[in-house]
Structure 1
Amino acid sequence: MTVTVYLELHVPSLPSEVAALPWNLWFATWIGMVEPKAGKAYELTLRLTTDAELRVLNRQYRDRDTPTDVLAFATRDQALPFPSEEPEYLGDIVISAETAQRQATAANHPFLTEVSWLACHGLLHLLGWDHPDEVHLSRMLAQQARCLETVGLTPPLLC
């Protein structure tokens, strides 16, 4: 399986390590854990930006006039056949680097852990996961923890 990640960094003060992370490998590993399809190719966009942009997107698409940490815009439609020889574009994951930094500081873990955690959360949404209640949220958070552990990261401790 191959995954192409289009990384967009729209925060001037973003640590340079974010761009150096093995995003393609991590996303391929995570997809393989929850949706194994041998030989399939995927594409997605990972955008790190500001609270201001997340606020605009959250207001426009979710009718919530507040910034948030991550939004996922899935393009997958199970009703439409997709040519297997072409990469499937899963959608866009948009993360507020500012909120991620605040959350990392509050939880006393590295910024890169928080960004990876949020990226994985967004990916699960692109793959159709949701958390409308506590049971689904617990399941999703447990999957995120397994995904991070699989790529050698320590998941954040959840209260």
Structure 2
Amino acid sequence: MEPLVDTVIEDARWEGFGLPTVAVRACTAALVELGLPVQGFTLCLMGCDDAHIATLNADFRGKPVPTNVLSWPSEERAAEYAGEVPELPEPGPEDDPENLGDIAIAWETCAAEAEAAGKPMGDHVTHLVIHGLLHLLGYDHIDDIDATLMESTEARILETLGVSDPYS
């Protein structure tokens, strides 16, 4: 069984890349590593281009530039204190899974970052999907202590998939 990831492809390069498969694999690994069931949750992931994500970034963050990934949690799930693990959501029933929120990921920025870092695009996108999912679950990286928690959680999840720690 796997989590329900509704993948919306706005840029055909994501279809050829296999974004739906990468997303389900990444989200499954994250939920399992966090001790959550893989059933009972849903999220939407949009694969778009830099132009669209720049518009979204301007509209929602006031930054009219492309970025690699954006996320919109369905509700606030942040921990009460910096450095604490967020309280993770309860899964919904099979016919009404708990909606975690939405993620958007941009092709050109992801491809350029992967190339610049000398890493496979699949590994980089896997990392960014996990990063976006952790934001949906209440993790953040505004404070250094929260960034350390989020990055170590990402690295631990990626390790289960055989992906190198992007922060080392």
TM-score, length basis structure 1: 0.84
Larger CA deviation: 36-45 vs 88-97: 36-45
The answer to whether the 8 Å contact 1:76/1:89 transfers is no
Equivalence for 1:94: 104
Structure 1 residue runs of 4+, over 2 Å off? 12-26, 36-40, 81-86, 151-156
Equivalence for 1:27: 27
Equivalence for 1:18: 18
Equivalence for 2:82: none
Q: Which structure has more RCO (C-alpha within 8 Å, separation ≥ 6)?
A: 2
Distance 2:75 2:112 in 1: 31
Map residues 1-159 of structure 1 onto 2, 5 A cutoff.
Answer: 2-14=2-14, 16-19=16-19, 21-34=21-34, 36-38=35-37, 40-77=39-76, 84-85=92-93, 86-156=96-166, 158=167
Q: Deviations along 1:53-99, whole A, 9 cap, x unmatched? A: 11111111111111111100110356xx9884220011111011110
Distance 1:96 1:110 in 2: 16
Task: Provide structure 2 residue ranges, at least 5 long, that are not aligned to the other structure.
Answer: 78-88
**Could you tell me how far 1:127 is from its partner in structure 2?**
0.2
The amino acid across from 2:58 in the alignment is R
The amino acid across from 1:65 in the alignment is P
What secondary structure, in the 3-state scheme, does the structure 1 residue paired with 2:13 have? coil
Over the matched positions of the two proteins, sequence identity in percent amounts to 32
TM-score, length basis structure 2: 0.80
Compared CA separation, residues 51 and 129, structure 1 to 2 (3 A):
same
| Number of positions where the alignment pairs a residue of Structure 1 with one of Structure 2 | 155
**Could you tell me how far 1:149 is from its partner in structure 2?**
1.3
Task: Provide structure 1 residue ranges, at least 5 long, that are not aligned to the other structure.
Answer: none
